[in-house]
Structure formats: structure tokens, C-alpha cells
Amino acid sequence: MSLINLDEYENILIYKALTDSGYLAAIADSVKPEYFKSKAIASVFEIIKDFTEKRNKLPTITEIKTYLVTDEQKSSFKDLVKSFNNIDKNLDKDELYDNTERFLKEKSVYHTMLSVAEDVSKGDVDTSDILSKFEDSCNISLVTDLGFNMYDEIDLLIDDLNSEQRFIPSKWEWLDEHLGGGFLESGKALYVFAGETNIGKSIFLGNIAHNIASQGKIVLLVTFEMAELLYAQRVCSNVTKIPMKELKDNGPTIRHAIKQEKGKMFIKEFPPSTITPNQLKGYIKKFEDKGIKLDAIVLDYLNLLNSSVGSNSYERIKHVTEQVRAMSYVFECPIISATQLNRSGFDQDNPELATISESIGLAATADCIVSIYQNEEDREMEIIRLGMMKNRYGARGMTQAMRIDYPTLSIEQADDVDLEDDDDVTLSALAGLARH
């Protein structure tokens, strides 16, 4: 059944709400009074919803009548009841929910347009807020799937256990081992590297992007701090092992080396704090429009995304992190990014989750958080440590030395350096979060 007349469809909506408690529960939070053609009809739906919430049962037509006050309400309800005679009582459930979803989306978009037009007339225009409103309107979804039936579908679980989970290796043995094989190829995961200012977060992200692309994968690297061509120079230095300062004299070597690479890497620059997660998602969708399936997305870095949500930095970064992780579901690829350690974490031998700026929201959302840190002894040895701060896929509190070749910005695992693991870091981190 196609939605030709939205005003007529609202009769079907109210009829089903009056006769099917499951349907009412599914739509209750999505239906707004302004979606109905009259306030009288809107009041009938509110009566049904309020009655059901208070008494845990659907009202009868007689019970609804007792709540009608004005002549308009009584007359509109009488006409509404008459319309029920023309409704197919055996509506296909899937078709019903699909059409209800269309009804709600069309009504929501229409009223969003009215609201935006009013804001524009007042000179009160926030582009990111407008985009967010329209995205919310288009993302209305009525969930009808009951989920995984654990006991009746146990064979599916066993098959999944026996299936080979696919990963994209980082090419750093220690990290891949603790992630169960690498970054989840199917996505639905956010990996975050946390470090102080100038510790080398961008170098790590650039190396990861190249390591993934070198396996024949398609990678998008989004930078908010560095020009596209400068980032590309860094990658070239990493690929060719030619120091940055010598690149200009080695054009033919660079061209040959890059042409040998198996995958693809796109580098996109946005000025810091000028783009919201919704706007970023809109940009990434352009790849889908061109038939390009990204295998991984690298963001340099989380804190430099903008957000109109929240009145303080904690709420802002929490919203940004949640939106970015949601993108991994939308685009079905892992997202790898970085965040800033706050000042209390700068001099710690093994930083805790509590030292992450605005830690609670980010730490709760990210699937894996790897710290990048360095003490005085490490500086003398010219190494940087990775520490497993949070890990949904394996052990936490583990450390590994990494060596950065600064002339070429290449990172290698330093297995010749023996670091003492601090297994108590997880417990202390949780305690720190409780205090935050």
C-alpha cells in the first residue's frame, strides 16, 4: 500500500494504536501532535497513549469518549470511528510498519522544513543544527525485529563461533595479537590512540593508514590539523624510507615506490572544529555514491570535530565519539582515531583512562583505547610506549615499546626493549573514572 493521502493514513494509525498495544508502543515516542490534521484528532491519540501508560491496557471507544471535552473533539472522534469501517482489518504487518514509517518521516521532514524556515526568517541559522534536524527526521525507524532468539537459534551461534572472523592487521605484531588479529574488517568498532601534545599521534595514525592500504585496502585519512599534501609527503617518506627533507630530490624514486602500492589512500583536509560528525558522514557517503567501499577510516583526530550538541566540552566530545562510532556501523568499516591526554597524564609511566580529556564519554564509547606515552628514560632510549588502556577484544594493562624513525616518520615494533607490564592499570583507571 503506497502512501497517497497522509491525512487518510492517520486514521489507520489511530485504529491500529487502539487495537494493537505492540504497535502503539512502537510508534508512541515518534508521533508528534502536529503530525495530525487537527488538534482534536491529535488529542485522541494522546488519550490512547496516556490511558495505556497509566492503566496498562488499551482504552475502549466508550472510555475514550469520557475524556472528550469540546464539541470539536466529539465530532472529530465520531467521524474517525466511522472511518474504521473502511479499514482493512487484516493489514500485512510488514506493510503496516513500512507505511507508518513513511508517514512519520514525511510528517517529520515537513514540520522540520517549517521550523527551519521560521529560524531563517528570524536570522537564526545554524547550518550544523539544520543538518542534524533533517537527519533526525530521515532516520525515524520502527524496530520490529525481536532480536536474536538465543535458545531457538543456537545453531546460528555455533556457526558464528566456528566462522573465521576477518581482521585487517596493523602490521604491528603486539597490537594485532591483543586485538585478536587486528582491526575488525566488518567495522562496528572505534579504535582510539590517546597521547599528549606532540607525542606522535599523527605519525601513528599515518603509519596505520599506510599499513592498511599496503594490504590492498582502500583507506580514507581525514586530517584536521595538516594540509593534504603535507600529510601525503609524510606517507611518501614512510613508504620510501627517504627522509622528509630529501624527498624533493627523489621524484622518480617516489613515483616508482607509490605505483607499487597495492591499495588506495584518500587524504582529505578540513579546518579544525569546522565540521560536525553529520557533515563528515555526508562527505564519506560521497564514496558510496561513486561506488567506492572504504575498508578503513582514519580520523586525525576526534577532539577537532565540531558539535552543536552539549553546553560543555565533556558533552561535546561524548556526542562526537558516539556519532563517530555509529559511523563504523553505517559504513561497515573500522574507524581509527586519536584523542588528547589531559595534563595529569603527561608524566605518568602508564596513563590511566581518567587522564583522557573528557574521559567518561569517550572511554565508555570506544571499543579499544591505546595510550601513547614516553617517560624520561624512554626519551633517552628514543622509544615510545603503547599501553592497552581499554580493550574489548583482549587483555588490558599491557605495554609495548615502539621505535619511531623521525627522519622518515616510520614506526617499528621495538622487541629488543623489555618493558614491565602494569596489570593493575585497569583497576586504577576504573577508580579514576569513578572520581571524574
CATH numbers and ranges of domains, the chain: 6-138 (1.10.860.10), 167-435 (3.40.50.300)
Q: What is the DSSP letter of 398?
A: -
d(CA 157, CA 153): 7
Backbone phi, psi, residue 189, to 5°: -160, 145
Give CA torsion, residues 59, 60, 65, 68, to 10 deg: 20
- Across the chain, what does the average pLDDT equal? 79
DSSP 3-state of 267: strand
> What's the rounded Cα separation, in Å, for the pair 46 and 69?
14
Decide: pTM greater than 0.85. no
What Å distances lie between residue 316 and 179, 273, 340, 433, CA to CA?
28, 11, 14, 18
Q: Say what the pLDDT of residue 134 is.
A: 66
Mean pLDDT value across residues 296-307: 86
Instruction: Tell me the C-alpha distance between 261 and 255, whole Å.
Output: 10
* Angle ∠(325,384,337) on CA atoms, nearest 5: 15
Q: Taking a C-beta distance cutoff of 8 angstroms, is the pair 419, 203 a contact? A: no
Q: Please tell me the predicted confidence (pLDDT) of residue 4.
A: 45
The pLDDT of residue 288 is above 80: yes
Task: Find the mean pLDDT for residues 151-169.
Answer: 73
Transcribe 124-158 into DSSP letters.
---HHHHHHHHHHHHT----------TTTTHHHHH
Q: State yes or no: pLDDT of 393 exceeds 50.
A: yes
Nearest CA to 142 out of 100, 86, 184, 186 is that of 100
Mapping DSSP to helix (H, G, I), strand (E, B) and coil, where does residue 75 land? helix
User: What pLDDT is recorded for position 91?
Assistant: 75
Res 425 pLDDT > 60:
no
The alpha-carbon radius of gyration of the chain (Å, integer) is 27
Predicted pLDDT at 116: 76
Q: What residues contact residue 242 under an 8 Å CB cut-off, 6+ apart? A: 236, 250, 253, 254, 408
Q: What mean pLDDT do residues 380-406 have?
A: 82
Query: CA torsion sign, 218 to 224 to 229 to 235?
Result: negative
Helix (H) or strand (E) holding 61: helix 61-65
| Residue range 226-257, pLDDT digits in tens | 888 888 888 888 888 888 888 888 888 888 88
Pairing of the two strands 218-223 and 264-269: parallel
pLDDT in tens, 347-364: 445 455 444 445 566 777
Q: What is the mean pLDDT of residues 386-394?
A: 82
Sign of CA dihedral 8, 11, 13, 15: negative
Q: What b-and-e string marks burial along 8-25, b requiring 16 or more CB atoms within 10 Å of the CB?
A: ebbbbbbbbbbeeeebbe
Cα–Cα dist 80/103, whole Å: 18
Mean per-residue pLDDT for 403-419? Answer: 85
- Of the pLDDT bands very low, low, confident and very high (cuts 50, 70, 90), residue 296 is very high
pLDDT at 346: 40
Q: What is the DSSP letter of 356?
A: B
pLDDT of 336 above 90: yes
pLDDT score, position 363: 74
- Report which of residues 105 and 141 the model is more confident about: 105
Q: pLDDT: is 353 or 195 the higher one? A: 195
Please give the span between the terminal C-alpha atoms of the chain, in angstroms, as a whole number.
53
Q: Is residue 137 predicted with pLDDT exceeding 60?
A: yes
